[in-house]
Amino acid sequence: MLPQIQCMQLIVLSLTLLLLQSTQIRAGIPAILVFGDSTVDSGNNNCIPTITKSNFPPYGRDFYDRKPTGRFSNGRLSTDFISEAFGLLPAIPAFLDPQYRIEHNYSAVCFASAGSGFDDETTKIQSAIPLSQQLEYYKQYQGKLMLFQGETKAEETIREALHILSLGTNDFIAHYFAIPGGRSLEYNVSEYEDLLIGIAECFIRDIYNLGARKLGITGLAPFGCLPLERTTNLILKCKEELNVAARDFNAKLQNLVNRINLELDGMMIAFGDVYDLVNDVIQNPSSYGFDVSVLGCCGTGSFEFGLTCNNFTPGTCPNADKYVFWDAVHPTQKMYGIVADHFVKTGLNIFL
């Protein structure tokens, strides 16, 4: 019996060590703080005067309690999955939500706004919250956190928190390539990319000066293959000009991340290279369990998003899990989960 008892003791000890290790991993990231656009906005636009909203059905039909929250999806977003992967909340609340209270939850909060871009001129088009104002909300959060935790503990929370930035698509598809007489008259595509990279650098340095030390920043997906862009292309194929811009921007953003990691003492930035993954899913949907990648689930799937994707929109698919895109611009919950898993395993793993 003695060997069996010793064996059981070893098994219990091993399980205990695994549990302790899991707890330590979760304890390493005390909070997740999100900046960006509609890919990560969990409901802030519900609270501002803009038509860029999604707090109505069928949005959110696969979310908890089938509740539309302002997320541009049938369910959760990538950041929700990432938060859960780090042992935090499975659904990140919006900072502007009237029900949000830091004493109830400081460990996950979203400052993002659908329609936002790096360029403030992009944000004005959709009356969204500019990145500069998102930064102001972040400062307000820090002030509340210090009152709640005390200055020393709050500074530690900010230092160890995972900051996420997902931004840039609107600058190209809703502004540069969409508005005649706008930025395209001032800059060629490469120059405009450089402008956006400069704004991104300023943001990174700003949050660093405010105490942030961990950041995950996502590159752009092949937005020339969005159903909306295909629809406006006469041959219904991906717009290669847009995809080239996305790839070029990503290369510059990767270079920025590499440089900042060397220049800012203690700063750790993980770059989320999602372009190839998303492109592969679109080109080979069946390999990922999807049936449709050229149209969205909502309505005809060719142009509906935001206000045009509603309960009166005919033709919405019964099973969004078969679709890469929920509406003509935004992924389904299933696709968001695939992107989140990829980012956690290939970028954010440096924080584990």
Residues 277 and 340 sit within 8 Å (Cβ to Cβ): no
Helix (H) or strand (E) holding 336: helix 333-346
Q: Which of 76, 55, 54 is nearest to 64 (CA)?
A: 76
Given the residues 37, 38, 78, 175, the one annotated as active site: 38
* Beta-ladder partners of 292: 323
Q: In the annotation, is 327 catalytic? A: yes
The residue from 37, 119, 171, 327 that is catalytic is 327
Helical (H) or strand (E) element with 215 = strand 214-218
Tell me the residue length of the chain: 352
Catalytic residue among 41, 54, 62, 330: 330
Q: Does residue 38 have an active-site annotation?
A: yes
Q: Which are the contacts of 42, defined by CB distance < 8 A and separation ≥ 6?
A: 34, 69, 70, 71, 77, 79, 80, 91, 92, 93, 94, 110, 112
- Residue found under tokens 């389904």: 332
Report how far apart, in Å, the C-alpha atoms of 2 and of each of 8, 12, 13, 14 are.
10, 15, 16, 18
| Cis bond before residue 285 (omega within 30° of 0) | no
* 330 is an active site residue: yes
Sign, Cα dihedral of 131, 136, 138, 139: positive
Which of 64, 63, 62, 41 has its CA nearest to residue 53?
A: 41
Residue type, 288: Y
Report whether 194 contacts 203 (CB < 8 A).
no
Which amino acid is residue 142, in one-letter code?
Q
Q: Which residues form the catalytic set?
A: 38, 327, 330
